[in-house]
Amino acid sequence: QIKLTGLITSMSDIQFALTILAVIIILIMIIFNWIRLIQYRKQNHAEKSFLYKDENGLSPEEKNPYDHDLSISEKYLLSNLPKDIYRDIDAIAFIRLNKATHATSKLNLRDFIELPHAHCFIRRNEDEWQSTEGLTGSASFDQILIAIQLVDRQGPISQAHTQTFRMLSEKTKNDLDGSLIWLSHSNIEEDAKELNQFCALVDHMMTLTLIPKNNGLFDNEKLIETLKTDGFKVNKDGFHEFKGRDKHPLFRVTSLNQQPLSFNLDPYIQGILFQMDLPLTLSCKESFDAMLESITNFQKELECMLVDSNKKELNVNHIERIRYQVEKIENQMVAKNIIPGSSCARRLFS
């Protein structure tokens, strides 16, 4: 009886230990599942797609008011576009093939090349995009990205080019057995018209005029010396250009007829222009202040004055109004996600 009682006591201890162990395991499972649930919610119920990546990878430059209409897969694609392709100025179509292929001959590259500002890229899986420009030999791919710029300084894309681009996109999809989605500007005609109106609003060459006092002439030797001292360099087009620390052009000096200064052909220079191409200038407001500083140096060295189109001297109020317009244009471009002086702006205003 004593042995039986001891055995029962021993079994009770084992059962108790097993119960404690089971409780611990259940608690661990609950904590593990709770952690997984939090991670799942943070991922915003991500689609089970080969294209998925954490949405936090999107930079502010890639945010867009139309994001809510895109799936996470499409957002990921837009955050991993090829270099110098921009959702804000390009109509972009993406084609995913049902199986990988080497059939580059079916990409209709000759027809794409004839379209202005059109680009075609290929890749396989998550590899980097490869431009088809100058593509030689075979390449394995299962994804195609094609893009065309909506507007340039000559105006919006033509209706004929729009129709050709659509036709080639559909033909490429069908020839290679794939599915097509538009990542941006599927309504090419209307979006191009709207973007062109915006470009007309902000496309300004800001110009300030300097003339010698008392209706005189510039001393050419002093003018040449001042240009050198102030850091102006002659660019490939013959203009005296001032560059920022990043070697990007900020403004230039020209003759009164907006041509490069030619000291040999024009020994009697009656005035010069300071010009800033606002859409192509980084940090417009700061660059404008740098230009004013340069103008002040010219005024000191050359005894000249800043005037309007009627040769009336500009005062501080005039300058402030000009600065306000410069800042306004810069803010309008930033709001449109086309940063002045960026590679995107340089493409758009080419």
Question: What is the per-residue pLDDT across 308-348, written as a single tens digit (0 to 9) for each?
Answer: 888 889 999 999 999 999 999 999 999 999 999 999 999 99
Q: What is the pLDDT of residue 249?
A: 93
* pLDDT band per the 50, 70, 90 thresholds, residue 184: very high
- Measure the CA–CA gap between 274 and 255, rounded to whole angstroms: 9
pTM of the predicted model as reported, rounded to 2 decimal places: 0.75
DSSP-assigned states of every residue in 16-50 = HHHHHHHHHHHHHHHHHHHHHHHHHHHTTS----T
- Measure the CA–CA gap between 235 and 139, rounded to whole angstroms: 40
Of 74 and 10, more confident: 74
Question: What is the per-residue pLDDT across 153-173, written as a single tens digit (0 to 9) for each?
Answer: 999 999 999 999 999 999 999
- Percentage of residues in the chain having pLDDT higher than 90: 64
